[in-house]
Amino acid sequence: MCTELQDWYSGTLPCCSKTPPGQDIPIKMGDEEAKSLPIELSEKGGMENNGFVQNETFDEKEINASSQEEMPKTCVVGVNRVAPEEPVLEPYAGMPKEVLLKFSTQALYRVTREILFWLIIASAVLLVCATITIIALSPKCLDWWQAGPIYQIYPRSFKDSDMDGNGDLQGIQEKLDYIVYLNIKTIWITSFYKSPLKDLGYGAEDFYDVDPMFGSMSDFEKLLAAIHDRGLKLIMDLIPNHTSNKHRWFQLSRNRTGKYTDYYIWHDCAQAEGLVTPPNNWVSVYGNSSWQFDDVRNQCYFHQFGKEQPDLNFRNLAVQQEIHDIIKFWLDKGIDGFSFSTVKFLLEATHLRDEPQVNKSQNPEDITAYSQLYHDYTTTQVGMHDILRSFRQTMEQFSSEPGRYRFMSSDADDGEDTEATMMYYGTSFVEEADFPFNFYLINLKNLSGNSIFEAVTLWMKNMPEGKWPNWAVGNPNSARISSRVGKEYVNVINMLLLTLPGTPITYYGEEIGMENIVSEEVTFPEKSPMQWDGKLNAGFTEGNSSWLPVNPDYQSVNVEIQKTWSNSSLNLYRELTSLRNNELPIYRGWMCYIWNDSNVFVYVRELDGLKRVFMMVLNFGQESTIDLKAIVPNLPSEAFIRLSTNISNAGKAVNTEIIKTEMGEGLVLEYKTEKPVHTMEAFQENCFVAEKACYSSAFNLLYVNC
């Protein structure tokens, strides 16, 4: 065999590098060797390869003769053509699509891919099911108006910003950080509509404007923005029953102008010798006849309050629409809710019959006081609740945005008629007020453990199922706690207010124990200016005087000094609001009455699934010692004082068989138990819950089905 060909085939023949590509390589070999080579190589030319043609034959001799004539003898070598081994291809990062597809069909990768796919599908389905289950089992979240205290501000007395002696909207804005400091999330500002202020602003001259005394609409908008920037909410007063006699509607009505002719309640009055005889014996809340003669219209108009506050005619649908428009105007501004006042006076009987006398033997001509009549025809008439429900429906139009629920409350001071009060909640089918204002603690005549128990029980037992309670111990029309029951009970009453279930409402200044002004010259002693510090005018105004005198005790009873006292009313109030906001049993748990007598009122706050229990022992009488373990057999023998009206007692352990309290002292005890009171048969009649929830310690969440 010719070794040169082998060297050429292997690529090691040096001379081959001189041969241009595509040319034949001449190799000399013997005749016998040439016969064994199926391929002929020639220096000058080669046989053309026409492929394999069926039935075509070649004359071997012609081929050999032709080859011998055209080219010299060549070296023919028998070459065994061995195909090179194909390298094994492994997957690698960044492989092209063609390579990837080659592996994707292999069983190893196909099965793995399918397993992962179905695992992802199963996980997604499981996650969706778990989410649906959690949502279905989760209790209703408390809304913003349920989650914390409401702070009620009488704007004229809170803070003066322009040195005119009257509080204003800018003054409230300056003190918003104080509201945050109190752990309060909701502010309720009483009426600041444009008004002649004959009744301190409760008879509006213009429902669409701010009285200049309090500032401008621009001031209101800035205040509202500042409130929302701090995560707070704003509730406004609205008094739909009447307007000021300076209101444009009344001026048009007394002149019988167009649709305004019947915007108010007018009736003919008998006249004889210059004396006007009213249509009936109806008496205003402030006394004397509720009818006032108008010499322009030559008729009498009806007023449930002062003669400067004529009642609107709510049997006129145009009047109702006016109030709806007012509601929309302020909700469009961005306020978070309304408190509707004097709503039980919205309608009067059309027959105008005399109201029955309380003392039937009394001479009818001597009746001048509101309390001398039963007001069967001038309060809570049929249709009144329908009007309130229509207000609710208008407010619902603004509650569709998440987190922007619009709150509605109404006053419902129906005295001892608890059933009439509870009607303001509406029904399970037709919503009315989120809650009617609770006057029970304000109207207490005698303070004791028993009277507190009765006031609390009266509301809780009569409240419709699924509704939310509220509590207040002061307002702009009632004496302050200190003046009503004594300053020694201020702290324990605030402890009661902030540990009962429901929404607590604090009237400004009650958190520091302010008192009424003691002066015969002061008409509104409960509205004295807020006491901010010990400087001139208690820091209320930098002017020379205030619209009402500041209480003389302002140097010791003020915000600034109480911030520095660990045992102050202000610091206790803050501790209580913090406890309420952070402890689930107080936030939304069960309440069970344990004991009450002339001195103490004892109750617990519990939550299903949570072993931690809070027990309130509140003294509203004299010094007392009580054995609570004898009353609650499963009670631990020892509990810890979480909070006390005496700060030095906080953190101490007490023997539950001997719990001693001083006059006006309050204790918040904490203990753990496997047997909560609300599960005990003996106490089930004394237990109430508004928004039931159960706690899961395993998942650290609340659920409904306990």
Residue type, 160: D
pLDDT at residue 15 tops 90: no
Question: What's the mean pLDDT in 273-290?
Answer: 92
Pairing of strands 666-672, 687-688: unpaired
pLDDT reported for residue 105: 75
**pTM of the predicted protein model:** 0.83
pLDDT reported for residue 19: 44
pLDDT at residue 41 tops 50: no
Task: Please give the helix or strand (H or E) that residue 294 lies within, else none.
Answer: strand 291-294
pLDDT reported for residue 99: 77
pLDDT reported for residue 644: 97
pLDDT reported for residue 16: 40
Task: Give the closest residue to 554 by CA, choosing from 526, 530, 522.
Answer: 530
Least confident of 50-64, 287-301, 376-390, 476-490: 50-64
pLDDT reported for residue 658: 95
Task: Give the closest residue to 623 by CA, choosing from 667, 663, 665, 666.
Answer: 663
Question: What's the mean pLDDT in 208-229?
Answer: 97
pLDDT reported for residue 86: 60
pLDDT reported for residue 133: 82
pLDDT reported for residue 417: 86
Question: What's the mean pLDDT in 321-347?
Answer: 97
381-432: pLDDT as tens digits? 999 999 999 999 999 999 988 778 999 999 987 777 899 999 999 988 899 9
Q: How far apart are CA 189 and CA 158, in angstroms?
A: 10
Least confident of 122-126, 196-200, 481-485, 643-647: 196-200
- Which residues have CB under 8 Å from 3's CB, separation 6+? none
Tracing tokens 């987190």 back to the chain, one arrives at: 403
- Which residues have CB under 8 Å from 157's CB, separation 6+? 167, 508, 527, 528, 529, 530, 540, 547, 548
Question: What's the mean pLDDT in 494-516?
Answer: 97
pLDDT at residue 25 tops 70: no
Least confident of 26-35, 154-163, 219-228, 478-487: 26-35
Least confident of 8-22, 262-276, 565-579, 605-619: 8-22
451-475: pLDDT as tens digits? 999 999 999 999 999 899 999 999 9
pLDDT at residue 31 tops 80: no
pLDDT at residue 59 tops 60: no
- Which residues have CB under 8 Å from 269's CB, separation 6+? 276, 277, 278, 279, 291, 293, 299, 300
pLDDT reported for residue 201: 64
Q: pLDDT class for 660, splitting at 50, 70, 90?
A: very high
Greater confidence, 102 or 431? 431
CB atoms inside a 10 Å sphere around CB 373: 19
pLDDT reported for residue 23: 46
- Which residues have CB under 8 Å from 121's CB, separation 6+? none
DSSP 426: B
pLDDT at residue 83 tops 70: no
pLDDT reported for residue 100: 76
Cα 500 to chain centroid, rounded: 19
Q: pLDDT class for 359, splitting at 50, 70, 90?
A: very high
625-656: pLDDT as tens digits? 999 999 998 899 999 999 999 998 999 999 99
pLDDT at residue 88 tops 70: no
pLDDT at residue 40 tops 60: no
Task: Give the closest residue to 195 by CA, choosing from 209, 181, 185, 205.
Answer: 205
Q: How far apart are CA 576 and CA 329, in angstroms?
A: 37
pLDDT at residue 76 tops 60: no
Greater confidence, 323 or 413? 323
> Helix or strand or coil: residue 435?
strand
Q: What is the DSSP string of 533-556?
A: SSSGGGGS-SSS--SSPPPGGGGT
543-566: pLDDT as tens digits? 999 999 999 999 999 999 999 999
Q: pLDDT class for 94, splitting at 50, 70, 90?
A: confident
- Which residues have CB under 8 Å from 323's CB, separation 6+? 238, 240, 391
Q: pLDDT class for 161, splitting at 50, 70, 90?
A: very high
pLDDT at residue 507 tops 90: yes
Cβ 417 vs Cβ 375: under 8 Å? no
- Which residues have CB under 8 Å from 569's CB, separation 6+? 490, 491, 494, 511, 512, 513, 562
Q: How far apart are CA 674 and CA 14, in angstroms?
A: 100
Percentage above 70 pLDDT, the chain: 87
Q: How far apart are the first and last CA of the chain?
A: 99
State the Cα angle at 161 between 155 and 165, rounded to 5°.
70
pLDDT reported for residue 92: 75
pLDDT at residue 701 tops 90: no
pLDDT reported for residue 54: 43
pLDDT reported for residue 81: 55
Least confident of 104-118, 269-283, 293-307, 609-623: 104-118
pLDDT reported for residue 181: 98
Task: Give the closest residue to 455 by CA, choosing from 490, 411, 418.
Answer: 418
pLDDT at residue 53 tops 50: no
pLDDT at residue 336 tops 50: yes
> Helix or strand or coil: residue 638?
strand
Average pLDDT of every residue of the chain: 87
pLDDT reported for residue 113: 85
pLDDT at residue 237 tops 80: yes
Q: pLDDT class for 87, splitting at 50, 70, 90?
A: low
Question: What's the mean pLDDT in 197-207?
Answer: 82
Q: pLDDT class for 141, splitting at 50, 70, 90?
A: confident
Task: Give the closest residue to 24 by CA, choosing from 55, 47, 1.
Answer: 47
Q: How far apart are CA 420 and CA 416, in angstroms?
A: 9
Q: How far apart are CA 444 and CA 452, in angstroms?
A: 8
pLDDT at residue 290 tops 80: yes
